[in-house]
Amino acid sequence: MLSRRNFLTSAAFAGATVAVGTLDGCSKKSTAAAAGSSGGTSAKTITLGFSQVGSESGWRAANTQSIKDSATAAAITLKFSDAEQKQENQIQAIRDYISQKVDVISFSPVVTTGWDTVLKEAKAAKIPVVLTDRSVDSDPSLFVTLVGSDFEAEGERAAHLLEKVLALPGAPKTVNIAVLEGTTGSAPAIDRAKGFKKIADASHPEWKIVASQTGDFTRDGGKQVMAAFLTAHPEINVLFAHNDDMGLGAITSIEAAGKKPGTDILIVSIDGTHDGFVAMTQGKINAIAECNPLLGPQLMDTIKTVLGGGSVPAWIKTKEGDFMAADAAAALPNRKY
C-alpha cells in the first residue's frame, strides 16, 4: 500500500505551515506571527487535533497512552477523539478540528481509501496533516508525512518467523495455515497479507492457506472466526494472526476445541503486546513480529518540526524486533507495552 519508499520533503506544506504557528521560542519572526491579534509576545502553544482509530486492541491502548503522554511532555494541547473504528466518525472529527482552527491535525486512518475530500478541506484551511500508524491511498501532497511502521515488512518478518518455528523439532511437514486478517481495507491488513504472501509464494509451495478471514483486530473477532475455522477446517495446524489480540482470542477457541495452542496449532502474530508476550512464555504463541505503538514522542517531534517550517521525510519509520517464544521470558520484564 505504501509505495512511497523514497524520502521526500514536506515542501508542499512549508508555505502553509510557517504561517500557521511556531514552537516555544523557536523563531522570533514566527512567534510574533503566531501571537497574532492578541499582540502577546509569548510563544503560542500548539493545538493538535488527533483522531484515533478506536480502542480495538492492546496495541491501540498503548498507542493512545503514548500520544497523550508525549503531548503533555511536549507542552502540546491535545484534542483527542476515538472513532470507534468508523471512518465517518474520523471524517467528522477532522472537520470539527478544521472548524476549531487547530494548528495541526493527526490521525490514524481506519482504512486506506476515501480521504481525499476531507484532506483537501484541511489543505484549503492551511492546516497540515501528519498521519500516524496507518497510511492512506491519497495524493501524497495532501499530507505531510507518515509516522509509523512498515506493515509489508512486518508480514514478511512474520513469514520468516514461521519458517523458524517450522524448523523446530516436532513441527509438521504439511502446513495448513489459517489467517486472521485485520480490519478489511486497513493498511496493516492489506500490507501484512501482502508481505506474508510474498515470502510464501516465493519460497514455500508446501504452505497452504486453507482459511483467511477478518477478525477486525479484536480479541472477540479472533475468537469467533477461529471457532468457525476449526469446525470447517480441522486440518489447520498453523495460525497467522495479523495482531496479538486476534491470536489471543483464537487461543480460547483452540483450547475449547480440545487442541493445544502452540503445539497442535502453531501461532505467529504481530504487535508484541504484554499479553502476547505472556502467551509466548506459556508456549501458546510461538513467535511475534513486533509492531511498536509508542509513536507519541516521534509524532510530537515531527509536529514541532513541521510547524517550525522544517522539512521531514515522507515516511518516518519505526524500528522493530522479532521474538521467538524461547526469547519471551527474558524479554518480558523490559517490555514497555
Alpha-carbon separation of residue 213 from 10, 12, 157, 187, 226 (angstroms): 37, 39, 20, 16, 9
Neighbours of 165 (CB within 10 A): 18
Interface characters, 155-174, with ligand GYE (x: CB under 6 A) = --------------------
How many positions of this chain bind ligand GYE (CB under 6 A)? 13
* Site membership for ligand GYE, residue 17 (CB under 6 A): no
Q: Could you give the CA distance from residue 235 to residue 36 in angstroms, rounded to a whole number?
A: 68
Instruction: Please report whether residue 249 would count as binding ligand GYE according to CB under 6 A.
Output: no
44 binds ligand GYE, rule: CB under 6 A: no
The contact pattern for ligand GYE, residues 105-124, with x = CB under 6 A and - = no contact, is --------------------
Measured from the Cβ of residue 24, the count of other Cβ atoms closer than 10 Å reads 14
Contact in structure between 295 and 67 (CB atoms under 8 Å) = yes
**One residue of 66, 70, 132, 243 binding ligand GYE per CB under 6 A:** 243
Does position 214 bind ligand GYE by CB under 6 A?
Answer: no
Measured from the CB of residue 293, what is the shortest distance to ligand GYE in angstroms? 7
Q: Which is nearer to ligand GYE, 43 or 267 (CB)?
A: 267
Q: Min. distance of Cβ 204 from ligand GYE in angstroms?
A: 23
Interatomic CA distance for residues 73 and 57, integer angstroms:
24
CB of residue 336 vs ligand GYE: minimum separation in angstroms? 16
Instruction: Say whether residue 291 binds ligand GYE (CB under 6 A).
Output: yes
50 binds ligand GYE (CB under 6 A): no
Local structure of residue 38 (DSSP, 8 states): G
Q: Torsion over CA of 82, 77, 145 and 124, rounded to 10 degrees?
A: 90
**CB nearer to ligand GYE: pick between 13 and 217:** 217
Please identify which residue in 44, 123, 134, 304 interacts with ligand GYE, judged by CB under 6 A.
134
Q: Choose, by CB under 6 A, the member of 10, 52, 57, 302 that binds ligand GYE.
A: 57
56 binds ligand GYE (CB under 6 A): yes
Structural contact between residues 53 and 83, judged by C-beta atoms closer than 8 angstroms: yes
Q: Judge whether 302 and 17 are in contact, CB under 8 Å.
A: no
Q: How far apart are CA 187 and CA 41, in angstroms?
A: 43
Give the shortest CB-224-to-ligand GYE separation in angstroms: 16
For ligand GYE, the closer of residues 58 and 309 by Cβ is 58
Ordered alpha helix ranges (H), 42-86 = 58-73
Give the CA angle between residues 72, 244, 49 to the nearest 5°. 30
Q: Which residues form the interface with ligand GYE (CB under 6 A)?
A: 56-57, 59-60, 133-134, 188, 217, 243, 245, 270-271, 291
